[in-house]
């Protein structure tokens, strides 16, 4: 009798655990008892807006945001980032990622910054484009072709340098490296990374 009761208790706990797992998967962690965040995947191709040729070595930085409701309205803040460079064909892939045991669990939204020295920044430059999509918030998990224009002179390049997002340096080392490369190319001083961030 005691063994039967133990087996029933074990089955009930197992079913409860399975329900919790399914809730976490279906709601991207919002209703999960386990602390994790889900970072959406992004993939696509970066091409020259004029020649339509692929651009190798462009930085693609996915910055993930969380929206928190407040008395005066919702506040959005950056909680994570993933980065990569385009290959010889201009292709890139940022896989979806789960970060476990973090306080900022639940649903996040990501947007992209695409930058290469000498080219307009996506999405800020007016001639940049996500073909067939809203460029201010292109959907994740969909292969999209992105166009960025070649800039003509130092003045254009100077006004085009992207600002650094409010995320730790370790999350965007490639991005900062390319920003500094462009700043040096046009005669500006590079960004200074505080020592504590470089460690």
* Chain segment 64-106, per-residue pLDDT in tens: 877 766 666 667 767 788 899 999 999 999 887 766 555 555 5
Q: CA-based Rg of the chain, rounded to a whole angstrom?
A: 22
Place of tokens 């460690």: 199
Helix, strand or coil, per DSSP, at residue 151: coil
- The C-alpha atoms of residue 85 and residue 62 are separated, in whole angstroms, by 11
Q: pLDDT of 19-52, one tens digit each?
A: 655 554 454 444 444 555 667 788 999 999 999 9
Give domain limits for the chain: 1-34, 35-188
Q: How far apart are CA 147 and CA 19, in angstroms?
A: 44
* Four-point Cα dihedral 47, 189, 112, 136, nearest 10: -90
Its pTM stands at 0.74
What is the β-pairing status of strands 36-39 and 75-85? unpaired
Higher-confidence position of 175 and 29: 175
Interval 151-164: pLDDT, tens: 999 999 999 998 88
For the domain covering 35-188, report its CATH number. Answer: 2.60.40.1120
């Amino acid at each position: 009798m005691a063994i039967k009761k133990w087996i029933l208790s074990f089955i009930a706990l197992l079913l409860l655990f399975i329900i919790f797992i399914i809730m976490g998967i279906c709601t991207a962690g919002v209703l999960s008892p386990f602390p994790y965040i889900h970072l959406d995947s992004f993939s696509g191709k970066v091409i020259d807006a004029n020649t339509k040729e692929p651009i190798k070595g462009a930085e693609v930085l996915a910055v993930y945001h969380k929206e928190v409701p407040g008395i005066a309205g919702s506040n959005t803040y950056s909680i994570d980032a993933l980065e990569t460079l385009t290959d010889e064909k201009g292709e890139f892939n940022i896989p979806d990622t789960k970060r476990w045991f973090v306080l900022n669990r639940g649903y996040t939204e990501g947007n992209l910054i695409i930058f290469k020295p000498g080219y307009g920044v996506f999405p800020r430059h007016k001639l940049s484009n996500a073909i067939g999509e809203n460029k201010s918030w292109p959907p994740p998990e969909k292969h999209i072709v992105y166009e960025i224009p070649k800039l003509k002179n130092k003045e254009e390049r100077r006004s085009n340098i992207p600002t650094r997002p409010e995320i730790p340096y370790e999350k965007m080392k490639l991005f900062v490296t390319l920003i500094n490369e462009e700043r040096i190319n046009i005669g500006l001083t590079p960004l200074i990374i505080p020592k504590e961030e470089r460690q």
